Amino acid sequence: MALAKNGKVNKNRHKKILKMAKGYRSRSKSCFRIAVQKVEKGLQYAYKHRRVKKRDFRSLWIQRINAAVREHGMIYSQFINGLKLSGLEFDRKVLADLAVNDPEAFKAIADAAANALKNSKAA
């Protein structure tokens, strides 16, 4: 009886790892043992950065909203407070998109927030 050494299984595993290591530099893309380490680390980074990406986009939206709101004489925190007082519910992604692509609509929202702020101070 011939000695079975899992040749096909190992070859497929090596092919899978080396395919994932495509685009890496030097021996990281061609040497299996090094490629395994680099691919595992890359997958860890991918997992972590899928969560970090959400934080980064939220901060980008806040920066865009803040820049647009300052053109209307408010700051970001006042604007968000005015939105809550006026009862308008928009998420930051939509507000940032309006600020960039539809300034007239954003101006109307900013005016509504400013009016709500004035009314709350008067009361």
| CATH number of the domain that residue 97 is part of | 1.10.1900.20
Q: What are phi and psi of 41, to 5 degrees?
A: -65, -40
Helices (H), 32-90: 32-70, 76-86
- What confidence tier does 123 reach under pLDDT thresholds 50, 70, 90? low
Q: For the purposes of burial, counting CB atoms within 10 Å of the CB of 96, is it exposed (0-12), middle (13-18) or buried (19 or more)?
A: buried
Domain with 74 in it: 27-122
> What per-residue confidence (pLDDT) applies to 67?
95
21 near 35, Cβ under 8 Å? yes
- 6-10, 19-23, 51-55, 71-75: least confident range: 6-10
Let me know if residue 20 belongs to a domain: no
Domain count, the chain: 1
pLDDT in tens, 21-71: 999 999 999 999 999 999 999 999 999 999 999 999 999 999 999 999 999
Its pTM stands at 0.77
Q: Which residue has the tokens 């909203």?
A: 65
